[in-house]
Amino acid sequence: MKHWKFFKIIVPCSFLLQGFSFLMFVLLSPDIALSEKTRQYYPSAKEHSQKIKQIAGFIAVEINRRGIKTVEVREFTDIKGRPSAVGKDIAKEFERQMAAAEGRGFAIIKNDAKAVVTGTLAPFKEREKWQIKIKVLSAETGAVITAYTGILKKAKGVKK
């Protein structure tokens, strides 16, 4: 008789817990849960501004050499093409550094530009490093004008 009382209490609780777990699994997709868990590992534009300044300088020289007068910088994405807060921050910093590039002969605008800058951020090496890929595409033909692939090391101030 003792055991029957135990099952009367435990079994409904386990069903309730399973139902709650199922709802949380359905409501919070793995991508959302993963992005929240790993958000602290992404490099911030402020901590990597020197590296981004170098990249922007290289690309600005190539844009000038090609005679392109207008450029649009889009938000950077992850490897699946999804926008992220980090991609937005890095793209803003990149746009700021492009605008500050010395001797630039082009304007950075939002629409109807002759060239479009896109970027991708991908973590690797247990989130110790980040691969950044930047492409400058012709808005008219979609052809790659120039591209850059580099590594951003984890910033010292970012917790593991």
| 85-100 helix and 49-66 helix, angle to the nearest 10 degrees | 60
Phi, psi values for residue 29, rounded to 5° = -65, 160
Contact, 70 vs 113, CB < 8 A? yes
Q: Comparing C-alpha atoms, which of 52, 152, 151, 58 is closest to residue 93?
A: 52
List pLDDT tens digits, range 112-140.
999 999 999 888 776 678 889 999 999 99
Task: Work out the pLDDT band at 51, boundaries 50, 70, 90.
Answer: confident
Beta strands per DSSP E along 47-154: 70-73, 107-108, 115-124, 129-138, 144-153
For the segment 63-69, the average pLDDT, to the nearest whole number, is: 91
* pLDDT score of 30: 46
- Average pLDDT of 33-37? 43
- Under 8 Å between Cβ of 16 and 117: no
| Six-digit token string for 64 | 């000038």
> Which residue did the predictor score with more confidence, 153 or 135?
135
Global pTM reads 0.67
Sign of CA dihedral 104, 105, 111, 112: negative
What is the torsional sign of CA 149, 153, 159, 160? positive
CATH class of the domain comprising 43-153: alpha beta
Residue ranges per domain, the chain? 2-35, 43-153
